[in-house]
């Protein structure tokens, strides 16, 4: 299908200063559209609209069942418009269309239904008291939720953020990433078609230091949810603390270990380690970016991992069967190429890849390094690209220590057929998710988040609801109670 200029008209609405910014096609570097650039004044307007919708509008006052029905309708509309949404996502981000349409869009509608299901099941407790008092807890929406999202999964991050916030009865101002403003605008249109009242959801396209910082600093924003780099996470946390102390949840970067034990099925481990790193052009916060392999299977693993990388199909993400599209933009492309050069200079062995593909767009060869050591930059930093680093280990205690030697703690993969080894590693690894003999399983009900500098709080699942709720204790004296 094709989207015409009439579909993009919405991009020109609601900007205060008439400024626009271009969004680019990562396949070519060509401009797709000029998008209204929201700045601090637009954030003010959006927050006012969200504030009014929360304080005076029908959204927090309607029954939770009515809210859930709007979210269920939204999920149905996502399914009906998968083609348009996936097209925008691939066009703006460069990810394979099949991945967007067949994996990500169904995950988003599933997640919206999951939280729609929660909307009318959020309730408080009757609490035992030490004195003749009736003590109850009431769960109330927090108010206006400010949300800031990255470019690697623009729609999925939109869903993870707005789904739970709306299900709990909040209103939202969400700032999308400047690299990928398109798909969230289309999704917002569908949410309004589903019956969302005006002012409840406000999407602002714009840049971090202007629109993003204005949202983090805003005195009328009651909660901030941020997904992005650890560096920016520190900035927004500080802005929130310096303004109105709004609570902040952070989903940040990672350098996740993927551990292949001596008893692993090597063929399966190779395939999963490949997927864990190369999925989404390597642009995943939880990418398995340190592949630890036991010395007894190391040579076999390495040979097969290299062969798998050489087989990876790279090209136009709209073409069926393509596994890897271009990186998001020239900045990320240059950063990844710098890391590849640093890997070579620091003495790691470049097994395959390492070069640009073509002279247009931001394509990089699937790259595999062996003989990687922990003190090399490629083993320490989040590269966020198609670069696999393979490290050798001898025993379990050693790999636990090495895997935990990082300031990140988002996820880990463990590949073993021994239940005791799996249990030992599961408890020892300081990470928010351990995938055993699998990777990147993202059900809506599974909580996701980081230890250490990978973040604060959890998204998805039941745990995310508390990010968007206040708990109020209500205490009433009881006169002549039969019991306390």
Ligand X SMILES: NC(=O)c1ccc[n+]([C@@H]2O[C@H](COP(=O)([O-])OP(=O)(O)OC[C@H]3O[C@@H](n4cnc5c(N)ncnc54)[C@H](O)[C@@H]3O)[C@@H](O)[C@H]2O)c1
For residue 471, the minimal CB distance to ligand X (Å) is 25
Residue with smaller CB distance to ligand X, 207 or 318: 207
Structure tokens at 139: 């769960």
Radius of gyration of the chain, Cα coordinates, nearest whole angstrom:
24
Residue with smaller CB distance to ligand X, 159 or 455: 455
Bridge partners, 367 (sequence order): 387
Of residues 139 through 158, those in contact with ligand X by CB under 6 A are 148-152
Cα–Cα distance measured from residue 56 to residue 365, given in angstroms and rounded to the nearest whole number: 54
Only one of the segments 35-43, 175-183, 187-195, 373-381 lies at the binding site for ligand X (rule: CB under 6 A); that segment is: 175-183
For residue 196, the minimal CB distance to ligand X (Å) is 22
Residue with smaller CB distance to ligand X, 212 or 461: 212
SS3 476: strand
329 binds ligand X, rule: CB under 6 A: no
Number of other residues whose CB lies within 10 A of the CB of residue 476: 11
Size of the site for ligand X (CB under 6 A): 30
Let me know: does 120 contact 215? Beta carbons within 8 Å: no
Helix 64-80 vs helix 105-119: crossing angle, to nearest 10: 170
String marking each residue 382-421 x if it binds ligand X according to CB under 6 A: x-x-------------------------x-----------
For residue 411, the minimal CB distance to ligand X (Å) is 9
For residue 242, the minimal CB distance to ligand X (Å) is 12
446 alpha carbon, distance to own chain's centre: 14
Cα–Cα distance measured from residue 422 to residue 425, given in angstroms and rounded to the nearest whole number: 5
Cα–Cα distance measured from residue 93 to residue 87, given in angstroms and rounded to the nearest whole number: 10
Structure tokens at 112: 């919206």
Residue with smaller CB distance to ligand X, 148 or 272: 148
For residue 144, the minimal CB distance to ligand X (Å) is 16
For residue 357, the minimal CB distance to ligand X (Å) is 22
Bridge partners, 20 (sequence order): 36
Residues with Cβ within 8 Å of 298's Cβ and at least 6 positions away in sequence, in order, are: 390, 392
What value, to the nearest 5°, has the Cα angle with vertex 434 and ends 381 and 298? 65
37 binds ligand X, rule: CB under 6 A: no
String marking each residue 179-218 x if it binds ligand X according to CB under 6 A: ----------------------------xxx--xx--x--
Only one of the segments 19-27, 100-108, 231-239, 418-426 lies at the binding site for ligand X (rule: CB under 6 A); that segment is: 231-239
Residue with smaller CB distance to ligand X, 406 or 421: 406
Element (H, E) at 175: strand 171-176
What value, to the nearest 5°, has the Cα angle with vertex 285 and ends 370 and 164? 160
Residue 251 appears among annotated catalytic residues: yes
285 binds ligand X, rule: CB under 6 A: yes
Number of other residues whose CB lies within 10 A of the CB of residue 394: 11
Binder of ligand X out of 177, 201, 340, 387 (CB under 6 A): 177
String marking each residue 251-270 x if it binds ligand X according to CB under 6 A: xxxx----------------
Binder of ligand X out of 228, 315, 325, 413 (CB under 6 A): 228
Cα–Cα distance measured from residue 465 to residue 479, given in angstroms and rounded to the nearest whole number: 35
String marking each residue 365-384 x if it binds ligand X according to CB under 6 A: -----------------x-x
For residue 328, the minimal CB distance to ligand X (Å) is 8
Cα–Cα distance measured from residue 205 to residue 8, given in angstroms and rounded to the nearest whole number: 13
Residue with smaller CB distance to ligand X, 229 or 404: 229
Nearest Cα to 197, choosing from 373, 320, 97, 66? 66
Structure tokens at 188: 């917002």
Of residues 421 through 480, those in contact with ligand X by CB under 6 A are 450, 455
Nearest Cα to 95, choosing from 326, 385, 433? 326
The single residue of 178, 251, 323, 351 carrying the catalytic annotation is 251
Residue with smaller CB distance to ligand X, 171 or 289: 289
Sort 418 into a burial class: Cβ within 10 Å, 0-12 / 13-18 / 19+. middle
Only one of the segments 43-51, 226-234, 266-274, 303-311 lies at the binding site for ligand X (rule: CB under 6 A); that segment is: 226-234
**Helix, strand, coil share of the chain (percent; to 5):** 45, 20, 35
For residue 282, the minimal CB distance to ligand X (Å) is 11
Residue with smaller CB distance to ligand X, 371 or 404: 404
State the catalytic residues. Answer: 251
Residues that bind ligand X (CB under 6 A): 148-152, 175, 177-178, 207-209, 212-213, 216, 227-229, 232, 235-236, 251-254, 285, 382, 384, 410, 450, 455
């Amino acid at each position: 299908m094709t989207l015409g200029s009439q579909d993009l008209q919405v991009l020109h609405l609601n900007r205060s200063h008439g400024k626009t910014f271009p969004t680019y096609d990562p396949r070519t570097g060509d401009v797709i559209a000029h998008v209204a650039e929201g700045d601090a004044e637009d954030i003010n307007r959006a927050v006012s609209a969200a504030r009014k919708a929360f304080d005076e509008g029908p959204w927090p006052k309607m029954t939770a069942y009515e809210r859930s029905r709007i979210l269920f309708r939204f999920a149905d509309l996502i399914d009906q418009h998968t083609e348009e949404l996936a097209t925008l996502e691939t066009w703006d981000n460069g990810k394979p269309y099949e991945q967007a349409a067949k994996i990500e869009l169904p995950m988003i509608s599933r997640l919206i239904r999951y939280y729609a299901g929660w909307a009318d099941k959020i309730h408080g407790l009757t609490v035992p008291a030490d004195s003749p008092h009736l003590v109850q807890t009431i769960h109330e929406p927090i108010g206006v939720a400010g949300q800031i999202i990255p470019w690697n999964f623009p729609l999925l991050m939109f869903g993870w953020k707005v789904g739970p916030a709306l299900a709990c009865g909040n209103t939202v101002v969400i700032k999308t990433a400047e690299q990928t403003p398109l798909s969230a605008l289309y999704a917002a249109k569908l949410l309004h078609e589903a019956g969302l009242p005006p002012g409840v959801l406000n999407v602002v396209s714009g840049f971090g230091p202007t629109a993003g910082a204005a949202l983090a600093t805003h005195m009328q924003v009651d909660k901030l949810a941020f997904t992005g780099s650890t560096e920016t996470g520190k900035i927004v946390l500080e802005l929130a603390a310096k303004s109105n102390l709004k609570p902040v949840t952070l989903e940040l970067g990672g350098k996740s270990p993927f551990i292949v034990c001596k008893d692993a099925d090597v063929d399966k481990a190779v395939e999963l380690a490949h997927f864990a790193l190369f999925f989404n052009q390597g642009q995943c916060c939880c990418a398995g970016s340190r592949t630890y392999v036991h010395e007894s299977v190391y040579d076999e693993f390495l040979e097969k991992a290299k062969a798998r990388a050489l087989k990876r199909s790279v090209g136009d993400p709209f073409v069926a069967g393509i596994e890897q599209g271009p990186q998001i933009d020239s900045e990320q492309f240059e950063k990844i190429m710098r890391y590849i050069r640093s890997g070579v200079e620091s003495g790691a062995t470049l097994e395959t890849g390492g070069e640009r593909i073509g002279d247009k767009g931001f394509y990089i060869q699937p790259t595999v390094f062996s003989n990687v050591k922990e003190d090399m930059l490629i083993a320490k930093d989040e590269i966020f690209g198609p670069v696999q680093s393979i490290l050798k280990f001898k025993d379990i205690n050693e790999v636990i220590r090495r895997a935990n030697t990082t300031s990140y703690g988002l996820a880990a993969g463990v590949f073993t057929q021994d239940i005791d080894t799996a249990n030992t590693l599961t408890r020892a690894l300081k990470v928010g998710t351990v995938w055993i003999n699998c990777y990147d399983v993202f059900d809506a009900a599974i909580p996701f988040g980081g230890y250490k500098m990978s973040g604060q709080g959890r998204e998805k699942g039941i745990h995310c609801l508390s990010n968007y709720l206040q708990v109020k204790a209500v205490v009433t004296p009881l006169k002549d109670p039969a019991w306390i």
